[in-house]
Structure 1
Amino acid sequence: MKVLSFDIGTSKIKAGLYTEEGEKVDESIRDSEIIFPGSGLAEQDPHLWLKNMEEMSIKFMDTDVKGLGITGQMIGLVPVDRNLEPLSNAIIWLDSRASREAEEILERIPLMDFLEITGGIPSGKDVVAKILWLKNNRREIFERTAYFLDVKDFLISRITGNVYTDISTASVRGLVDKNKREYSTEILDVIGITADRLPEIMDASEIAGTGRGKFSGLEVVNGSGDAFITPFGAGAVRDGSVHYYLGTSAWASTHTQDYLINEERGIGSVPSVIPGKWLFISESETAGKCLDWFMDNLSPGTDYDTIEKHAKESPPGSRGIIFLPWLYGERSPILDVYARGGFINLSLSHNFRDVYRSIFEGVAMNARWMISGLMDSGISIEVINAVGGGSKSDLWMQILSDVTGLRINRIEDPQNATLRGIALLSLLSLGRIGSHIETEKYVRVNRQFEPREDTREIYDALFENFRGSYEALKGIFESLNYGRGE
């Protein structure tokens, strides 16, 4: 028996075929276009997600494929009519158009009340604010919308005809009472919708329905969003086991028995895919994307291998350059939609090698700040399992180990950890794996990176200046960016 998995990323769509032993048989990948129609706006065409999935599945389909699992980006908004037809482009997680609506929500629900209900603080990037933005700015679409769906829920609804979500995906939209684990009528009243316009919540490991069309006959697993599925593909399922994902964005998370929150660092707990557990997660908006942006705009024609080769030629600390990786605002370790990126302390004595290395180090500094927020909340960390496309870089993993002072276990096939995670959850749903914890035995370590003592003093000093840079600039960020929607 085999299962077909899809990971609907922001810039890539991945497909993988896995055996019931959790081994990948084949894979496919396609680029996914992001539409930037204006300042602070980020959209994608949901029809293309489905079209790509159908075309990519052709080479995988045989009589031995029994299950289908879908995961991917979250905090998106796909308004659909009663025929499950999209009424507009999807407003994706990068989009920050709804900052004023987030403020409007907090004018009607006090901040501490909203935090107590949802466990989070609304920003212009959150679905709760984006639904209100539709109501305020695209009233016709708002009125015609039968369901406000997230990415994987839209795709599952089109494939099965059933409209479901899972508690983890629903919770990060700012619409769920975290204690009752159901939609909050108080919040829905504020944005002017009722629960019947949202997908029904069911367990992530349940079967959402049977596939139709190109996916006819497949058992379709309800699944969850990428951040909640990746722990399974990273071998970090047990309480206190931490994984760090380094892709377009980045996050660090661990499962806990109890609800935890670190308001200062923008870190919260979300109901886990594992019933009765919480996922304590710190999420950063742009990580690997910083390197992509630099290559596309400031060093066109340069590839990853060349960047890494030259970055190795600069010493630890990049000879004093600090790179700030907040190219599209930030969630954690700072909750600030106005924060922006930059290079600090450039001089005529610096060269392109120093600039290259500073990008790797800036992302790692942000990771240290994120991870320290987990530790400040009582999580004991000595080892981190690293996954995501960025973790393929030996240089980046060594810098991450040096900057954090922690051992880094790079997981095998790290760029496909999320794809592997949804495959393992699918096998669990179909009865081929006995428990969530049992999925860990299907994950192997590729290489370990140990922190080097001779870099500790350099990176400790750089980290203090990295944090201080934000404190010095946050007022300027707000002055420059308030009202621009970016």
Structure 2
Amino acid sequence: MSYVIGVDLGTSAVKTVLVDRSGNVVAEHSESYPLSQPKPGYSEQRPEDWVDKTLLSLRLLLEESKISASDVEGLSFSGQMHGLVLVDGKGAVLRPAILWNDTRTTAQCRRIEDTLQEKLLGIARNRALEGFTLPKILWVQENEPELLKQAALFLLPKDYVRYRLTGEYAMDYSDAAGTLLLDVAAKSWSTDILDAFELPHSICPPLVESFDLCGTLLPEIARESGLLPETKVFAGGADNACGAIGAGILAEGQTMCSIGTSGVVLSYEERREVDFEGKVHFFNHSEKDAYYIMGVTLAAGYSLTWFKDTFAPDVSFDELLSGIGDIPAGSGGLLFTPYIVGERTPHPDADIRGSFIGMDAGHKLPHFARSVLEGITFSLRESIDILRASGKRIDRVISIGGGAKNEDWLQMQADVFNAEIVKLESEQGPAMGAAMLAAYGAGWFPSLQACAEEFLREARTYKPNPDTAQQYEKLFGLYQTVYGATRELGKGLAEFRG
């Protein structure tokens, strides 16, 4: 028997999965690492923590599975996007990594927009947001100029870990697309953007496909991980691209909805020149010469977690949601907007805040719980509608993450999206996508689609109820008016937030 390993380098932990040739997850293991927030808005990590915990997770994965290291053909990565790692000419890290959820770079985003103007969307295909990598590089340029002069390369989180495992530098297109330095259509680093900010071209690592071989394990790394030095290491991809692969989003017309802390609507895209005017993200896929478009709800699952922790801390999520099936669509006239940490799509607004509208004395905890789920789903529907307006037909959506764990919520997604919702039999998200890249790279399958056909199986589908879908259509129209109606109120309340 032979196996591959998927390594998912997340924000709070690294997860490793061991997968056989049929797509069965034989073993999995995770190791957490700390997050540093030295100042308000700052979010940093030590890259060496990623390396140490990845090696520990790999070693324990092998020990727990009791398989022979000689049976592992290769491994690949999924990685948290956008995080800035700067290394010197010897590969030494120059400062803690600045992560995707670090918000110190608003001024640098405005500098990018003012400098590049319409060129930005034409080249990078995305707006300048605090999460992206280029604003972080410019922050270092402005605040730590001597340090930037020492930098030989910038890397993203998984690319640094892979470098430490193999000694080889590389960055795949799907992750590079989230830097604002890639010419997305041309699949090359943009000389126009680099020159506009006086950045040396040499700071950008070599570009590769997600399934390309990037070397084998260094001898000392092999000893620490329990694997063999000849184990093949493949490039891997951005977490959202790998999540798409792990959900089988590998052909035109395929769309997924992933509800975790944030929420993502992601659809496969072959049209290179389609213009979304920056309303959604447009990135290179880990599938060769393909793209994906993505809308983001910043506080999707986080809204539900906040609600439970604040109003029902002593009950489980299952208990909290157990009564929502008895509440009619519309939650008895109660409407929630999930803007509790700002919003991304379709309103890139860091200042807007959430609301409950329509509360009356008859509303009980189940009404509020259902309203929170409806508000999250309406926010995701806004991304669905942007994709449909571009000409995409979306009548079937793969649902993964927390939103796929509750049957009432799955049916709600079907009714709000007015589309068939599919739940997968076994869902490992980005870790499975990384394992599939290793399986394809190792030659197990002629294509990623063939790999998905073997590895992924559907468990159940949920079809929209026509009457409920019609009710939600009316309520969604009301939901869409809330942002405009509360934006100025939110600004007025901002001074009281502390």
TM beyond 0.5 = yes
Alignment-mate amino acid for residue 451 of structure 1 = P
Aligned to 1:274: 287
Aligned to 2:153: 147
Distance 1:388 1:204, change over 3 A: same
Relative to the length of structure 1, the TM-score reads 0.92
Does 2:14 match 1:7?
A: no
DSSP-derived class of the 1:132 partner:
helix
Structure 1 residue 85: Cα displacement: 3.4
Q: Which moved more, 1:346-355 or 1:472-481?
A: 472-481
Distance 1:327 1:175, change over 3 A: farther
Q: Which moved more, 1:145-154 or 1:426-435?
A: 145-154
Aligned to 2:248: 235
Q: Per-residue displacement from partner, 1:366-425 (whole Å, max 9, x unpaired)?
A: 1111111111111111111112233122222111111111110011222x1221111111
Pairing partner for 2:123 from 102, 117, 123 = 117
Alignment-mate amino acid for residue 257 of structure 2 = Y
Where does structure 1 differ by over 4 angstroms across 4 or more consecutive aligned residues? 476-482
Pairing partner for 2:344 from 311, 324, 331 = 331
- How does 1:205-284 map onto structure 2 within 5 Å? 205-212=211-218, 213=221, 214-215=224-225, 216-259=229-272, 261=274, 263=276, 266-284=279-297
Contact (CA 8 Å) 2:7, 2:15: kept in 1 or not? Answer: yes
| CA distance in 1: counterparts of 2:234 and 2:422, whole angstroms | 29
Q: Which moved more, 1:296-305 or 1:120-129?
A: 296-305
Contact (CA 8 Å) 1:264, 1:334: kept in 2 or not? Answer: no
DSSP-derived class of the 1:320 partner:
coil
Alignment-mate amino acid for residue 148 of structure 2 = F
- Bigger Rg, structure 1 or 2: 2
Does 2:465 match 1:459?
A: no
DSSP-derived class of the 1:59 partner:
helix
Does 2:184 match 1:178?
A: yes
Contact (CA 8 Å) 1:124, 1:337: kept in 2 or not? Answer: no
Does 2:119 match 1:107?
A: no
Aligned to 1:164: 170
- How does 1:340-359 map onto structure 2 within 5 Å? 340-359=353-372
Q: CA RMSD for the aligned pairs?
A: 2.3
Contact (CA 8 Å) 1:260, 1:268: kept in 2 or not? Answer: no
| CA distance in 2: counterparts of 1:37 and 1:297, whole angstroms | 26
DSSP-derived class of the 1:243 partner:
strand
DSSP-derived class of the 1:40 partner:
coil
DSSP-derived class of the 1:25 partner:
strand
Q: When the two structures are aligned, how many residues end up with a matched partner? A: 482
Q: Per-residue displacement from partner, 1:91-150 (whole Å, max 9, x unpaired)?
A: 22222211111111222222x111111111112222111111122223343333332221
| CA distance in 1: counterparts of 2:38 and 2:160, whole angstroms | 22
| CA distance in 1: counterparts of 2:470 and 2:237, whole angstroms | 41
Aligned to 1:77: 84
Alignment-mate amino acid for residue 424 of structure 1 = M
DSSP-derived class of the 1:60 partner:
helix
| CA distance in 1: counterparts of 2:81 and 2:413, whole angstroms | 26
| CA distance in 2: counterparts of 1:153 and 1:480, whole angstroms | 42
Aligned to 1:437: 449
| CA distance in 1: counterparts of 2:405 and 2:395, whole angstroms | 21
Pairing partner for 2:139 from 126, 129, 133 = 133
Does 2:406 match 1:399?
A: no
Relative to the length of structure 2, the TM-score reads 0.90
| CA distance in 1: counterparts of 2:280 and 2:445, whole angstroms | 31
DSSP-derived class of the 2:209 partner:
coil
Distance 1:326 1:137, change over 3 A: farther
Contact (CA 8 Å) 1:326, 1:339: kept in 2 or not? Answer: yes
Structure 1 residue 78: Cα displacement: 2.0
DSSP-derived class of the 1:29 partner:
strand
Aligned to 1:39: 40
DSSP-derived class of the 1:244 partner:
strand
Q: Per-residue displacement from partner, 1:458-484 (whole Å, max 9, x unpaired)?
A: 3122211211111222344456669x9
Distance 1:42 1:262, change over 3 A: farther
Does 2:406 match 1:363?
A: no
Distance 1:328 1:22, change over 3 A: same
Contact (CA 8 Å) 1:239, 1:255: kept in 2 or not? Answer: yes
Pairing partner for 1:188 from 184, 190, 194 = 194
**Structure 1, gaps ≥5 residues long:** none
